[in-house]
Structure formats: C-alpha cells, structure tokens
A and B are shown apart, each in its own frame.
Chain A
Amino acid sequence: MAEALINHIDPGAIALGVEASDREAVIRLLAEKLRRDGYVKDSFADAVVAREASMPTGLPLGRAVNVAVPHTDPEHVLKPGIALATLARPVAFANMEDPDEAVDVGLIFLMALNDKDRQIEMLQQIMETIQSEAAIDGLMRAETVEDVVSVLR
C-alpha cells in the first residue's frame, strides 16, 4: 500500500495563496520553512536557486496552472521532506525539458531528497498527484492545511 503524499509533506511547510514576485522568491520562502524544521542545511536555498537556473524543473501540464518540482543535490539535505506552495498568481519557471521555454507555474513542490531508495515512493506520489486534474484543482482551491490534507490523503 502506497504511503499517501501528505505523509511526506511537513504541515509547517505548506504555504497557500502565496503572492510571489518570481520563482526565486517562492523557492526561498519554502526553503526557509524546510530549514527551520530541520530538513535541510543553510546552503539548501542557494543551491536550489542555482540549480533551477541551470537545470530547471518546470513541468508543463498543458494547463493554466502548471507545476514545478525544485530540488538539489543530497549534500544540502538532512532528511527527506516536501514543502508545498500554491500561488495567487503564477510565476515563470523554465521547462525541465527545454530551458529556453517558460512555464507558468502555480503549484510548487520543493523536495528535500537525500536517499534514492527511500524517495521512490515520495516522487511517484508527487507525479501521480500532478497527473490528476482533480488533485491539482483541489490543491489550488485549498485555503487551509486541512484542505490540503483532504486532497492528498
């Protein structure tokens, strides 16, 4: 039985309806929550921002709201976890497949990864979630952590 995605997301690292000026602002907001809660080292935020510039993580879903899954090398991570943000207005991420193409992203899963074997389930749960239109709509409508829990449980 697959463990629900919500079990990998820190409730203290969920930010809903965020007003972010650009992708770096939202990455730093979520990275700080993961740092505060002991998931990542101080170096994590800078590392994710730098990696996003060279190896972007925007995933075009052919929708008004697309998804990004920023992450970085395991050396910046203390324990695995996920921070989640929904944005009041989408910001541009670059397409993972083609860095020259911009993707309007409204849903961000910032992933702290440091163990390939243990993470398979967590990653597959994220990908299953973003392949469900109902789940994305539910997350974008969520106003409270409880709303998020009920979508992802």
Chain B
Amino acid sequence: MSIKKRVLFACGTGIATSTVVSNAVVEAMKERGISIDARQCKATEVRSEMGGMDLIVSTTQLPSDLPVPSIVTLAFLTGMGKADVLDKIEAALRA
C-alpha cells in the first residue's frame, strides 16, 4: 500500500526549477510506492510555507535551522547524481 507524504519544492522564483524538480520527484516516488502532495514556493518563503510538510527539496540555499528535513540538489537539472538523491529522498520520506 502506498504511503502519502507532503513535500515542499523551493527555488529562487518558485515557478521555474522547482517545477522541474517537483515533476521528477513526484513521478519517481510514485514508482517507489510513495504518493506525494507537492507544493512549490520561493526559497525565501520556505519558513512560512513549510507547515505540515514532511520534506523540503530545493535547488537553492535554504536557511540553516529549519525544523523540517531538507535536501538541496541540482541533480534533477543537471542529471548528475540523480539516483543517489532519489534514494535520499525516499529514505527521508520513509523515516
């Protein structure tokens, strides 16, 4: 049975690279049995948008002391290290 998680995807504008990352992660996690409720925001809005989130995935730097687990990665943009990051995301969502 698939589990359901909420993930906040962040980038500089909240509409560009976070869209690419969100699509890639939602698709990949579906194959791994995790259904994601995805939201997007600007990196600068993370603090006000992170309520109820299980994980934050960002393409750009985040504040350092967030109470929600976070992963900063360019893997879904550059293609480098994608498999490793997907494993990290899955582990974080199953934790």
Contacts and interface: CB of A to CB of B under 8 A. Distances in A.
Interface of A: 51, 55, 57, 59-62, 69, 71-74, 96-99, 111, 113, 116, 119-120, 123-124, 127, 130-131
Interface stretch (B14-22, B28-36, B49-57, B86-94): B14-22
Contacts of A69: 16-17
Interface in B1-53: 12-13, 15-17, 19-20, 23, 40, 43
Contact of B60 (A96, A113, A131): A96
A113 B74 CA distance: 20
A73 B20 contact: no
Interface of B: 12-13, 15-17, 19-20, 23, 40, 43, 59-61, 72-74, 76-80
B51 to A, nearest CB: 21
A74 B15 contact: yes
| Of A74, A96, A120, A131, most B-chain CB atoms within 10 Å | A96
The SS class assigned to the A binding surface is loop
Contact of B16 (A60, A111, A130, A131): A111
A107 to B, nearest CB: 13
B19 A96 contact: no
Contact of A123 (B12, B19, B60, B61): B19
B61 A98 contact: yes
Contacts of B61: 97-99
A57 B16 CA distance: 11
Contact of A116 (B15, B59, B60, B73): B15
B27 to A, nearest CB: 11
A107 B84 CA distance: 27
B78 A130 contact: yes
Contacts of B60: 55, 96-97
A62 B74 contact: no
A22 to B, nearest CB: 20
14 contacts: A51-B12, A59-B77, A60-B74, A60-B78, A71-B16, A96-B77, A97-B59, A97-B72, A99-B61, A113-B13, A113-B16, A116-B15, A120-B20, A120-B23
A61 B15 CA distance: 22
A131 B12 CA distance: 21
